[in-house]
Chains A and B, each alone.
Chain A
Amino acid sequence: MTQLALVIDLNVCVGCHACVTSCKEWNTSGSAGPLPDTKAYGADYAGTFFNRVQTYEVGCYPDTETIHFPKSCLHCEDPPCVPVCPTGASYKRAEDGIVLVDYDKCIGCKYCSWACPYGARELDDKNRVMKKCTLCVDRIYDTSLAPQDRKPACVMACPTSARLFGDIHDPHSEVSRAIREEGGYPLMPEWGTHPANHYLPRRRTHVHIHADELERADNPLKVDRQQPRPAKSEPTLDDAVTW
């Protein structure tokens, strides 16, 4: 059984929102139909997005880290949005585990959005139906694309390769290996939804600087050490310059 998913590396995401804009661009012109922005030039503008990048500060100043946190539909293995849907518009595909909405069946009752603890679904205000991440289902199976391009738009757009895409049920896939080897985890595991998307935790990084690294490596004449040093009595830069 296949379960396609995204694995997002929180070490690498720089919060550039390239995945957000690329997702919107691809999907608004794809099978999801337009993802409209209401009152795009008004005071209370709003829009429909499948993917958002949020920013968190962890720790107490000055020992803080900034975490950029992309979130879209997690394609749960036991999705709570599917059984509550009264029309069957929300469904999970058996063949690849993608959770989708049939926009022609959706009545816009919002019940699935109440049932999703992650807030991954957004009601399209113009078309009055529920929309959500499709894992670019119209792209990943498009045989007219080169095989390396058959990935979700957000994965293609990510400039830092913070996003991996693949089958988490295949132990040899890139995503399974990343989850296994780097301690990938799901969000809100307490609700038993078993999200397919995983996140790779932040790693503590150390940089060791050795004494010989303080000199330029491409300095064969070792002139760095031979720079003239002013005598203590001579004027320093601070005396000559008004800052």
Chain B
Amino acid sequence: MRPALSVILLTTLLGAGQGLFLAIFTHQTHALLGVLSPQGAKDLYGPAAAVALGVLVAGLVASFFHLGRPERAWRSAAKWRTSWLSREVIVLPAFMGAVFLYGAIHLTGFNPVLLRLSGGAEIDASIAVGAGGSVLAFALFICTAMIYACLKFLREWHSPLTVANYILLGIASGFTLAAVLSARLSPHEAPYFAGWALVFTALGAVSRGASLWRNARLRPVSTLQTAIGVRHPAIRQISQGFTAGSFNTREFFHGQGQSLVRSVRWLFPLFAFAIPAVLFAIYLGSGSVMALAAALVAQMAGLMAERWFFFAEANHPQNLYYQAVA
């Protein structure tokens, strides 16, 4: 498939926004449960939610560049019963609304206590909105990933690993973003986020590694024989029926040399997982904020390359019909 910049930006930015929201809400939950004793975390939640919302809006704007008719985008919520794309279109604004509310509660300080638990913990409005937002964040991860994973003949995508990757890579980049924000706004909490960023980066590496391993071993189900229905071992296309390009020859081929695809295959795990992991370790050891900032830059670049490779790697069966121009 041809990797479109708009979709690469859309999926990586949405993932980072969802991950950032989940990171700060996880922190708040841990603080509520008494696992953490936060100092100055109140200065973090509001601005971090605002950044998360900004990243989500940027992703949403990028998505419009993928559409031929963006002015009709409002129509795309119609078929939520069958289309994962439609479901994503519904869940995304709902999630953005939850992030907005969550940020507004923390920035304005209007946070009424809704429930007092027997242990003394207070469930306030921010916890309630955050819990709802977390459910929506996971729903959005599943919708985005299922857009690709539900296409059964794109076998590189048709796997539960696609959903696992979208969730884990999104959360990893979100915790990285939270660590950088926290280093600036609330330095005491930054090691918490950096530690979890390291854990999710490692989990993402395992899950993405598993899908790389799986996809390298896939055998095509469709062949030229099933594509044209002629049962003969030696079939060769001598003409695709036209000499120019077409939608079919542009949309389903990445148009890059195999050497580039091979090098991205090795570079993206390096930038998305290995280098950030080392930099997290350096930060946790030495407290160098520069290392944390470098980890964020490397990871976002790596995840963009990961998404590029995700699209470039997928081999659509329609390509069987476009093997020779002649």
Q: Please report A residues at the B interface, Cβ cutoff 8 Å.
A: 17, 20, 44-49, 52-60, 66-67, 69, 71, 80, 82-89, 105-111, 113-119, 121-123, 125, 128-130, 185-191, 199, 201-202
Contacts and interface: CB of A to CB of B under 8 A. Distances in A.
Nearest to A20: B241
A187 B89 CA distance: 33
Interface residues of B, number: 58
A54 to B, nearest CB: 5
A85 B232 contact: no
Nearest to A118: B318
A191 B244 contact: no
Contact of A190 (B82, B221, B319): B221
Contacts of A199: 228-229
Given A122-B246, A187-B229, A188-B227, 9 more contacts: A17-B241, A54-B239, A55-B241, A110-B68, A110-B251, A117-B222, A117-B318, A188-B222, A189-B226
A83 B228 CA distance: 25
A83 B79 CA distance: 8
B297 interface: no
Contact of B79 (A86, A113, A125): A86
A117 to B, nearest CB: 4
A122 B154 CA distance: 18
A75 B112 CA distance: 57
Contacts of A54: 237, 239-241, 321
B226 A187 contact: yes
A114 B154 contact: yes
B37 to A, nearest CB: 46
A185 B230 CA distance: 10
Given A56-B235, A123-B68, A44 B230 contact: no
A41 to B, nearest CB: 12
B227 A107 contact: no
A82 B247 CA distance: 19
A85 B226 contact: no
Nearest to A103: B69
A87 B316 contact: no
A57 B83 contact: no
Contacts, number: 174
Interface of B: 1, 66-70, 72-73, 75-79, 82-86, 89, 147, 150-154, 221-222, 224, 226-230, 232, 234-242, 244-248, 250-252, 316-319, 321-322, 326
A229 to B, nearest CB: 45
Contacts of B1: 114
Task: Tell me which of B82, B234, B240, B247 has the highest count of chain A C-beta atoms within 10 A of its own C-beta.
Answer: B247
Contact of B239 (A46, A55, A108, A185): A55
A59 B236 CA distance: 8
Contacts of A111: 83, 85, 147
B66 to A, nearest CB: 7
A205 B316 CA distance: 36
Contacts of B67: 107-109
Contacts of A191: 152-153, 221-222, 317
Given A56-B237, A113-B247, A187-B229, A107 B321 contact: no
B226 A53 contact: no
Contacts of A56: 224, 228, 230, 235-238
A17 B77 CA distance: 40
27 contacts: A44-B245, A48-B246, A54-B241, A58-B232, A58-B235, A59-B234, A83-B79, A84-B151, A86-B86, A86-B89, A87-B75, A87-B86, A88-B75, A106-B68, A107-B69, A108-B69, A113-B247, A114-B316, A119-B248, A119-B318, A119-B322, A122-B246, A122-B247, A128-B68, A130-B68, A191-B221, A199-B229
A218 B71 CA distance: 74
Contacts of B78: 86-88
Contacts of A44: 244-245
Task: Tell me which of A58, A123, A128, A190 has the highest count of chain B C-beta atoms within 10 A of its own C-beta.
Answer: A58
Nearest to A71: B321
Contacts of A66: 238
A27 to B, nearest CB: 16
Contacts of B321: 54, 71, 118-119
